[in-house]
Amino acid sequence: MSAEAALREQMCLLARSLFERGLTHGSTGNISARTPDGGLLVSPTGTSFGRLDPARLSHFASDGQLLDGDPPTKEMPLHTAFYETRSTAGAVVHLHSCHSVALSMVSDVDPDNFLPPLTPYGIMKLGRVKLLPFFLPGDPKMGAAVRGLAGKRSAVMLANHGPVVAGKDVEAACNAIEELEDTARLAMMTRGLNPRTLTDAEQEAVISKFDVEWDI
């Protein structure tokens, strides 16, 4: 099996796992990954994470030309914005996961640091998550908003919509977006209970120990 064929299979396997565990639903969510030759594989528009076909993934050349496969997701501006601004991005995942969307609707969250410091893992895998305003699905302004971050964030939360995470490869991106959703779930579960969060010193220790990219 070629490297590209293996990547196609991995993308569909991970997407199906996310779907089967309820992290996205119906035909929501999209996923993309860099191919070994610098091209891009992208989930097609209107498809379900539970039923992606490796042979029908949208396949782009390194110059952005669609080579084969079905038409890509309408959220392509989000994906291309991450690839264009983050040299380390090898994959991008976007979900409509319930707890993170619910947290984005809460009025007192910090838009510059969306996730509360409840565990070290959200910090380790995501750094600071930027809460972006609401955009219509498919609006190119979402890509412009990501570009405006100048590559300083690996994850953003689209208000009333869902999270988007870039990782070094497709497995890392999926692991990170799961951590985002789990941290949001903890935040919603403990809301109003005055939970103990990591202190500033503890957060700084995590950032230093694990060499976390932390945009000040």
171 is catalytic: no
CA distance 46 to 203: 40
Active-site entry in 4, 9, 20, 75: 75
Q: Which one from 4, 83, 121, 213 is the annotated catalytic residue?
A: 121
CB 177 within 8 A of CB 21: no
Question: Is 9 an annotated catalytic residue?
Answer: no
Question: Which residues are part of the catalytic machinery?
Answer: 75, 121
